[in-house]
Amino acid sequence: MSTVSRSHGTTAKYHLDRCRCYPCCHANSQYESNRRRAMAYGTWQPFVDAGPVRTHVRQLGEFGIGWIRAAKLAGVATGTVSKLLYGDRPRNLAPTKRMRPEVALALLSVEPTLENMGPVVPIDGTGTRRRLQALVAAGWPQSEIARRLGMERANFGRTIVSPMVRVSTLRAVVAVYDELWRANPREHGVPARWYTTALATAARNGWAPVGAWDDDTIDDPAAFPDWTGHCGTTDGPRHHYRIGIPVCQPCREARQRHRAEANAQAA
C-alpha cells in the first residue's frame, strides 16, 4: 500500500488523489486553461512560446510519464524534448524558447490518462475497491479473483480495502472486472459453497453489487452506489425495504428532505 502524501494546490493531487478542495481545483483549472490557451496558439502563429509546453512536460513527470515517454507518446523526437527542457549543453545553448506549433500541440495533447501513466504511480484506490467488492457481491470468491489478477491472497485482501493502489493494479483490476462482471461464477467452475460464501461476505461488509455503479461514477470518491435503481429519490427507501438491504445515504437524505418539505407545507 502506498503512503505517498501529495501537497494540496497541485494537479497531481487533483488527478491522482481525486482531491476536490479549492486549491487543487484552482491549480487544475489554471493548468487546463494554460494548456488549452497554448494549444490554441498553434492555429495561427508560426512559432509559439515554449514555456507552457515545458511546464506541461514537467508536470507529466508527476504522473510517472517521463520526458522520453512523453516524446514517444507525442510522436516527437526525443532530442526536441531534451532541448526544450535542458537546452543543448554541448553547444552551451539555453532551453528552447519558441517552437513550431505542431510540435507544441503534439506534446500538449499528451494527457495523464490511465493508459499513459507510469505503472508504479500511486493513485486513488476508490475504483479498484469498488470493482473488486462488486465482483465478490456477484459471487466471485476472493481467491479466484486474486488468481486471475496474479496476486497472493494476502496482497489481494489489502488491495480490496486499500485507499491507494498502483496504476498497474488499477489497470489489471479494470481488465478482470470488464471480463467477469456479466459472467455467472457458477458457469465458470466456482463451487456452490464458494459462491454462497462470497455473497455472504459482500452482504456482511455492505459491498455494492455490479449494477449499483455506472462507468462514470465507479471511480468517483464522491459518488454513492445506486442499490435500487431509485436511490436518492423519495421512492428509494421503499425499494431498499423491498429488497432487504439497509437504506443508503442518498435515500436517507431524500427522505429527510421530503419530510422537511411536508412539515413546511403543513405549517
pLDDT in tens, 193-202: 999 999 999 9
Question: What pLDDT was estimated at residue 237?
Answer: 84
Question: What pLDDT was estimated at residue 41?
Answer: 67
Nearest 5°: phi and psi at 48?
A: -125, 160
Question: What pLDDT was estimated at residue 235?
Answer: 84
Which carries the bigger pLDDT value, residue 41 or residue 155?
155
Reported as a pLDDT band with limits 50, 70 and 90, residue 203 is confident
Most distant CA pair in the chain, distance? 83
- Kindly state the average pLDDT of the residues 70-78: 95
Burial 147-174 (b: 16+ CB within 10 A, else e): ebbebeeeebeebbebebbbbebbbbbb
pLDDT at 51 over 70: yes
CA atoms within a 13 Å half-sphere pointing along the CA-CB vector of 247: 16
Domains contained in the chain, CATH given: 11-108 (no CATH), 125-210 (1.10.260), 226-267 (no CATH)
Q: What mean pLDDT is reported for the chain? A: 88
Crossing angle for the helix pair 126-137 and 142-149, nearest 10 degrees? 130
pLDDT at 3 over 70: no
Dihedral angle sign, alpha carbons of residues 160, 166, 167, 169: negative
- Kindly state the average pLDDT of the residues 87-93: 85
pLDDT in tens, 159-174: 999 999 999 999 999 9
